[in-house]
Amino acid sequence: MELQPDKFKLIAGDLSLDLVNTASKWQRAENSFSPTGDSLADISDLVSWAIKAKAVDEGTARRVLKSAENDKLDARVLRRVKKLRSAIYGIAIAMITGKAPFPDDVDCLEKARSRALDGQKIEYVRGRLELRRRKEEAPLDAVLDSIALSAVDLFTSDRAERIRVCGGESCGWLFVDDSRGRNRHWCDMRDCGNLAKVRRFRRKSSKV
């Protein structure tokens, strides 16, 4: 397995939405959303993304990959990550459209939040209280916990009202609009933004 953190791009301004953006071409089923494009093909992709997102250090990542070759538990974590990713996407779209999220998505996030809190403990260290992870928690579980808590923080804050979908015709990436004028339209001006400019220019040119 090979680490390739540079294959991932972080533009969302939030860890949980950056995870959502590892998938694409989301389709709605009756009570859920699922992607038809996925950048997380295996554990090495998940670990590579986690390095890029600074959710795990490279030394820990390499130890995870070494153990993942014969560890079915890591594969189960990947499935859990993808299930949580779909739930976060569904809740984010509900926030954007002003509709109630699917109950299953909320339930999935709540279960992930509860697991995350169970993996933490308060310790008194050098004159202060600190929130630390339990030593027995696996590194990938810690990544999943960070994603869940990031999503909870986002969806329960005023920033939830600033979640946007990129205006690119075939993009669909999500981000939090923290721009000063609250007028951000693109995941990245250098990508979808420039492409939109080129398309507008071509349309104008064709009418001349």
A 10 A CB-CB count for 176 gives: 19
Q: How confident is the model at residue 194 (pLDDT cuts 50, 70, 90)?
A: low
DSSP 17-60: HHHHTTEEEEEE-SS-EEEEEES--SHHHHHHHHHHTTSS-HHH
Q: What is the pTM of this model?
A: 0.88
pLDDT in tens, 81-123: 999 999 999 999 999 999 999 999 999 999 999 999 998 888 9
* Domain limits, the chain: 5-165
CA distance 150 to 152: 5
Instruction: Say which CATH class 5-165 falls into.
Output: mainly alpha
pLDDT of residue 61: 86
Sequence-distant (6+) residues with CB within 8 A of 13 are 175, 176, 178
CA distance 112 to 91: 14
Q: How confident is the model at residue 63 (pLDDT cuts 50, 70, 90)?
A: confident
- Asked if pLDDT for residue 206 goes beyond 60, the answer is no
Sequence-distant (6+) residues with CB within 8 A of 27 are 33, 34, 35, 36
AA letter at 138: A
Instruction: Provide the phi-psi class of 151: left if phi over 0, else alpha when psi is between -120 and 50, else beta.
Output: alpha
Q: Check residue 12 and report its DSSP letter.
A: S
Average pLDDT, the chain: 87
> Which of 26-35, 64-73, 80-89, 126-135 is predicted most confidently?
80-89
Average pLDDT for residues 135-155, to the nearest whole number? Answer: 89
